[in-house]
Amino acid sequence: MSSRAVTGTALVFLVAMAGYFLLPVYWLFVAATKSTGELASTPGLWFGHLDLLTNLRALFARDGGVYLRWVVNSLLYAGAGAVFGTLLAAMAGYALSMWEFRGREAVFSVILGGVLVPATALALPLFLLFARFGLTNTFWAVFLPSVVSPFGVYLSRIYVAASVPADLVEAARIDGAGEYRIFFTVVARLMSPALVTIFLFQFVAVWNNFFLPLIMLSDQRLYPVTLGLWAWNSTASHDSALQTLSITGSFVSIVPLVVAFLSLQRYWRSGLATGAVKT
């Protein structure tokens, strides 16, 4: 094949793949503008009567505005989980990289093993444990397990080893700075690209988590948005208005995420490169 033909074939393939990845999201947008009746009666990929505002009003009014509450819950679970998760992972990764102590590699191996443990296998026993302390169906049941990120420890250890000079930490010690002060003023600044990446990974992991809240929560007011939409979607056969609402709600909840993800893409790339190259 001539190089022209190669380029042409590649372009056609890439356009087809872009269509594959984007069309379902486009369909979701179009569907969010339709009434329940029109969902089935009009062509899926083109607009019918534009009812987006009606749908949005219904979405935020349903069950006393529970949808907005779900979104806020998701932001709290994912935001707070990622902030604390990043802090704990960064401190642990720093300690494991910078300090020599007996059994260090063994500790690191046990933590790395945690990356391979399926989160869903932990959720059931966690439920039984939390039930003993009356903690199921509370904010804490979803939040507390979310602050532990073995993958974050792994990333921050690699990053500290590569970009925090031991001499610098030693110099700060000689100047009389305390360990916490060194960490929060010197080390944290040097680690900031890794911190952003760990935050993003943990935020997404918690935001997308479905199994843990499904098992832990029975009170709808504590649901994250994913669980709430699932609940609406699975009762849509009894209440057809819920079909429109779960579609509109799905669309509304992913818009800020898509925007945030695409604008932060370079952090994903750098984080993924660190993780992949060192394996």
Nearer of residues 24 and 65 to other proteins, judged by Cβ: 24
User: Of residues 170-199, which lie at the interface with other proteins (CB under 8 A)?
Assistant: 179-180, 183
Q: How far apart are CA 75 and CA 89, in angstroms?
A: 20
Nearer of residues 31 and 82 to other proteins, judged by Cβ: 31
- Chain centroid to Cα 6, Å, comes to 38
Pure H helices in 133-224 = 139-143, 150-163, 166-174, 179-181, 188-190, 192-208, 211-216
Residue of 5, 53, 174, 276 that binds other proteins (CB under 8 A):
276
200 lines the binding site for other proteins (CB under 8 A): no
2 lines the binding site for other proteins (CB under 8 A): no
Stretch of 50-58, 142-150, 169-177, 191-199 lying at the interface with other proteins (CB under 8 A): 142-150
User: Of residues 46-85, which lie at the interface with other proteins (CB under 8 A)?
Assistant: none
User: Of residues 151-170, which lie at the interface with other proteins (CB under 8 A)?
Assistant: 153
Q: Are 34 and 43 in contact, with CB atoms under 8 Å apart? A: no
C-alpha closest to that of 126 among 141, 113, 112: 141
10 lines the binding site for other proteins (CB under 8 A): yes
Nearer of residues 58 and 144 to other proteins, judged by Cβ: 144
Nearer of residues 219 and 265 to other proteins, judged by Cβ: 265
User: Of residues 216-255, which lie at the interface with other proteins (CB under 8 A)?
Assistant: 226-227, 229-230, 233-234, 236-237, 246-247, 250, 253-254
**Helix, strand, or coil (residue 45):** coil
**What is the nearest approach in angstroms of other proteins to the Cβ of residue 219?**
17
Q: Give how far Cα 278 sits from Cα of 31, 152, 164, 272, 273, Å.
A: 43, 14, 17, 10, 8
Residue of 56, 71, 89, 217 that binds other proteins (CB under 8 A):
89
Q: Are 255 and 263 in contact, with CB atoms under 8 Å apart? A: no
**Helix, strand, or coil (residue 15):** helix
